[in-house]
Amino acid sequence: MQSQFMQPMPPHGALISNNQQKRKEVYRYSAPHELYSCSWSMRPEAHLKFRIAVGSFIEEYNNKISIVQLREEQGDFLHIGTFDHPYPSTKILWIPDPKGAYPDLMATTGDYLRLWRVGGHHGASLEVMLNNTGQVVGNTARATEGTVKTQLIAHDKEVYDIAFSKLGTGREIFASVGADGSVRMFDLRHMEYSTILFEEPNHNYLATFAKGSNEAYILDIRVPSVPIAILKNHSASVSGLAWAPHSSAHICTAGDDSQALIWDLRNMPKPVDDPILAYAAGGEINHIAWSTIFTDWISICYGNQLELLRV
């Protein structure tokens, strides 16, 4: 994250920075319809760099999702394809595959959850629709002997290892470590809970906002009920937020006041009075996304515009 500090709010289309940038800071794509949702591809291949999916907001059944790609050298966008989507897509997510090991898939939500395979003349084709039929989508298991006593779900990611303690009989208490960075202790005599022995503090922050509120709240899940910080600089309702994928101390908020604000949270619990970077868009911002792969880029949607902002 570059060190950038607040200056007086610039006119529409200008970033605030404490030094002049020679590179272009904002790229804009104009769609033929209103836009609501957007998402960055995570594929690492050079020819797939800067792909973004954007979803329309048309107040009828027939909506669209377009895949576009920024060509930074040319300074424009390549339209890869557009396909039909029932109702506006409330969320778009590319497969989290930064190593390029899996098929190029995309998930969308609306009336149902749909998975799309990217490619072809229209940009993507429907792979599967997951609706509420009650059918099992997939279920696999492998066991040769023994009986499963219980299944303990505590870690947020993969479990790497477990070890039983010598306390007591040596058969009831064990600890586990996982990819979520935590160490947890279990007692088979009280399986309804576990004890967190260690957890990286950065994973304890949660951000949220209320409908119609111009404030965003930062919560510490270890201290429930009271926000650890309140971000107050929006003059209209907050419409979205995105954590920096490379820094747990930075977050971007967007609002109906046409502002996108980046905040530095490193000094919490001291008050966070002002953002370190602000951008004035040309309309009420509907959606914001921070690229996981290209972490100095943020995308916003407003009106029929998709804008990529270099931070």
Report whether pLDDT(262) > 50.
Answer: yes
Q: Give the pLDDT band (50/70/90) at residue 135.
A: very low
pLDDT of 81-107, one tens digit each?
Answer: 999 999 999 999 999 888 888 899 999
Q: Annotate 212-250 with DSSP letters as a single string.
A: T-S-EEEEETTSTTS-SEEE---SS-EEEEEE-TT-TTE
Instruction: Tell me the β-bridge partners of 62.
Output: 86
Instruction: Evaluate whether 66 touches 79 at the Cβ level (below 8 Å).
Output: yes
Q: Cα 241 to the chain's mean position, in Å?
A: 9
pLDDT value, residue 218: 92
pLDDT of 174-230, one tens digit each?
Answer: 888 777 777 788 887 887 777 776 555 567 788 988 889 999 999 888 887 889 999
Domain that holds residue 180: 159-193
CATH number of residue 84's parent domain: 2.130.10.10
Helix (H, G, I), strand (E, B) or coil at 151: coil
pLDDT value, residue 22: 44
Please give the structure tokens belonging to residue 181: 């960075």
State the Cα–Cα distance between residues 68 and 49, nearest whole angstrom.
11
**Unique residue bearing structure tokens 């004035």:** 280
Mean pLDDT across the stretch 146-170?
69
The verdict on 108 and 213 lying in the same domain is yes
Mean pLDDT across the stretch 262-286?
94
The last residue of one of the domains, among 193, 216, 243, is: 193
- Domain annotation covers residue 3: no
The verdict on 97 and 217 lying in the same domain is yes
Greater confidence (184 vs 19) lies with 184
The verdict on 100 and 188 lying in the same domain is no
The most confident of 126-140, 141-155, 188-202, by mean pLDDT: 188-202
Cα 81 to Cα 40, 119, 128: the distances in Å are 15, 8, 19
- Domain annotation covers residue 103: yes
Phi, psi of 135 (to 5 degrees): -75, 150
Greater confidence (158 vs 6) lies with 158
Phi, psi of 289 (to 5 degrees): -145, 135
The verdict on 62 and 86 lying in the same domain is yes
Domains held by the chain: number: 2
State the Cα–Cα distance between residues 292 and 267, nearest whole angstrom.
24
The verdict on 205 and 268 lying in the same domain is yes
What Rg, from alpha-carbon coordinates, does the chain have? Answer: 23
Q: Which of 65, 104, 57 is nearest to 82 (CA)?
A: 65
CA 190, 195, 197, 203 dihedral sign is: positive
- Domain annotation covers residue 16: no
- Answering whether pTM is above 0.85, one says no
The verdict on 49 and 115 lying in the same domain is yes
The verdict on 180 and 204 lying in the same domain is no
State the Cα–Cα distance between residues 56 and 151, nearest whole angstrom.
42
